[in-house]
Homo-oligomer: A and B are copies of this chain.
Amino acid sequence: MVGFEDIKDRVCASVVSKFKTAEEAAEMIKDGDCLGVSGFTPSGYPKAVPLALAEKAKKTPFKVNVWTGASVGPEIDAAMVEAGCMDRRLPYQTNATLRKAINAGKVRYADIHLSHFAQMARYGFMADRKKIDFAIVEVCKINDLGDGKVGLIPTTSMGNSSSYVATAPKVIVEVNTTQPVGLEGMHDSYVPLDPPNRKPIPIERPEDRIGTPYIPCDLDKIVAVVPCDITDKVRPLGEIDEDAKHMGQNLVNFLKNEVKEGRLPANLLPLQSGVGSVANAVINGLVNSDFKDLTVYTEVIQDGMFDLIDAGKLRVASGTALTPSPECQKKFYENVEHYKKYLLLRPQEISNSPEVARRIGVIAMNTAIEVDIYGNVNSTHVCGTKLMNGVGGSGDFARNGYLTVFFTNSLAKGGKISSVVPFCSHIDHATLDVDVIVSERGVADLRGLTPKEKAPIIIDQIANPKYQPYLYDYFKRACEKCGNSQTPHILSEAFDVYKWFEETGSMEKPAE
């Protein structure tokens, strides 16, 4: 196990007196406290102190609020949940244990746009008007800045750490020896002032730096510096299947035509891509395209971005977290100096900033759970009730990008579920935030169309032939029933597919 000696050469002398074990640090945290932790997609989150908190809770029950960047690893979202010490958890998650607890109402979770969370936390807008008691952040190094200040060098994510450190009265720092010190220089820490004093965020290109490569912190606020050698629990990406390849190809063809028609520059505009296998497959489509000098302004930097670097097609990728697969992580750690020339990590308030996304004209690409025939998107709730992951940054980019694309397979659950339905069972993105939908079958370009024009295109290009007859029939009957309406629906039938799914295990209309 890692000890104080192992982190001595990573930290400045001024913090040595604050060395504590994870257990000692956990002891400082009390029932009802609100923790602002580093981490975004299981990258760069604290591990030792959360595990110690879980152990502590097994002996003496207590509950804390846990505010992160986004999803974090099992040391927080499984261990603390299982120990019963997590009360409110914001603003995003993907862990199966946590998800189960949220759906069961044991952990209180609410979806919040990822760009909004830091400022809303600063404003004091969270439930019970809580503010952060402890910031707990993972770093690879601590530098002395003089004048009673130190610079915390984050690791594989920025998330909300800059804001949490700036506002927390007490800060616990985990120095992780598995994270290369070479990460220093890859971050750009910046916390905007709040209204009425906020200034423009001066980013005009994805590569623009506006802050400091460290998170500044008053030495006085640091209550513990804890050694840790537990690795980020990055996950393998799924295989890129045939459907995902077709989606990637459909996107590339669409973008090529946009360039041809003069609606996009030859090197496109900064790309934003959601998290997961489909998103990665889409980026892979670009790796195999003729596009070059690409830029990325996104939330999460996944394997595909590294492939774009390797293929010589990427100028810069700006994000808030690195979430490589285990193999890609190895490649990155072994070549940090090479890759970091192309990579830039920002606070999620900036990586996902509506202001910046709109200004630089991001091409927003995210995944939908389901879409309806009028182009509304459900990103979060399976059958309208069970939370899957959360809205994440999809809304930040979908609302504000230059062009908004949502991806979905036409089918899910081996064909038992149609990803195109008459009326989404939950709506995160209203149709006016959805320009284009791409499935393995085709592209539905919805820009500027009326609802009644959108429906046949979505059914034709996105829905699976298995479900097309029912969807056309619903749309036709809805138009007949309420012809004099902008968005025809038969509300008494609009959710029938979910009833059939519940009753028969398939969204197919049962034989009469």
Which residue in chain B gives the minimum CB-CB distance to A107?
Answer: B450
Segment from A41-49, A171-179, A195-203 that makes contact with B: A195-203
With A108-B450, A201-B200, A492-B495 as known contacts, state yes or no: A395 contacts B125, CB within 8 Å: no
Q: Chain B nearest CB: distance from A475 CB in Å?
A: 13
Q: Is A435's CB under 8 angstroms from B125's CB?
A: yes
Is A335 in the interface zone, CB < 8 Å from B?
no
Report the minimum CB–CB distance from A466 to chain B (whole Å).
Answer: 21
DSSP majority for the A interface? loop
Decide if A460 is an interface residue (CB 8 Å cutoff): no
Contacts of A90 in B (CB 8 A): 448
Q: A263-B123, A427-B430 are in contact. Are A358 and B360 (CB under 8 A)?
A: no
A61 within 8 A of B: no
Give a binary string over A108-139; 1 marks a CB under 8 Å from any B CB, 0 the rest: 11111100000010011111111000000000
A229 at the interface (CB under 8 A from B): no
Tell me how far the C-beta of A22 lies from the nearest C-beta in chain B, rounded to whole angstroms. Answer: 29
Residues 475-504 of A at the B interface (beta carbon under 8 Å): 482-489, 491-492, 494-495, 498-499
- Verify if A331 is at the interface (C-beta below 8 Å from B): no
Q: Known: A129-B261, A399-B399, A487-B385. Is A120-B194 also a contact (CB below 8 A)?
A: no
| Minimum CB–CB distance for A127 against chain B, Å | 4
Contacts of A449 in B (CB 8 A): 110, 127
Q: Is the CB of A355 within 8 A of B361?
A: no
Of A97-105, A274-282, A316-324, the one contacting chain B is A97-105
As for how many copies of this chain the complex holds, the number is 2
Report the minimum CB–CB distance from A312 to chain B (whole Å): 21
Is residue A58 within 8 Å, beta carbon to beta carbon, of the partner chain?
no
* Given A124-B262, A200-B201, A447-B126: A484 and B103 interface contact (C-beta under 8 Å): yes
Q: Which of A427-447 contact B (CB under 8 A)?
A: 427-432, 435, 447
Given contacts A450-B110, A491-B383, A204 and B194 within 8 Å (CB-CB):
no
A400 contacts B by Cβ under 8 Å: yes
Residues 336 to 381 of chain A near chain B (Cβ within 8 Å):
354-355, 358-361, 376, 381
**Interface magnitude class on chain A:** 35 or more
User: Which of the residues B102, B196, B199, B452 comes within 8 Å of A265, measured between beta carbons?
Assistant: B196
Chain B residue nearest to A424 (CB atoms) is B427
A200, B359: Cβ atoms closer than 8 Å? yes
A484 to B126, CA, bound (A): 24
Q: Are A385 and B103 in contact (CB under 8 A)?
A: no
Q: How far is the CA of A452 from the CA of B492 in the complex (A)?
A: 25
Q: Decide if A195 touches B360 in the complex (CB within 8 Å).
A: yes
CB contact between A103 and one of B195, B196, B486 (< 8 Å): that residue: B486
28 sampled A-B residue pairs with Cβ under 8 A = A103-B485, A105-B452, A110-B450, A125-B263, A125-B447, A127-B448, A130-B448, A195-B359, A195-B361, A195-B402, A196-B269, A196-B360, A200-B200, A200-B202, A354-B355, A354-B358, A383-B491, A384-B489, A385-B486, A385-B489, A387-B487, A391-B432, A395-B399, A395-B432, A425-B489, A425-B491, A492-B498, A495-B495
* Other A-B pairs, 20, CB within 8 Å; known A200-B204, A385-B487: A100-B484, A110-B449, A112-B432, A123-B402, A124-B262, A125-B403, A126-B447, A129-B261, A194-B361, A196-B361, A354-B400, A381-B486, A381-B487, A383-B491, A385-B486, A385-B488, A386-B482, A428-B430, A492-B498, A495-B495
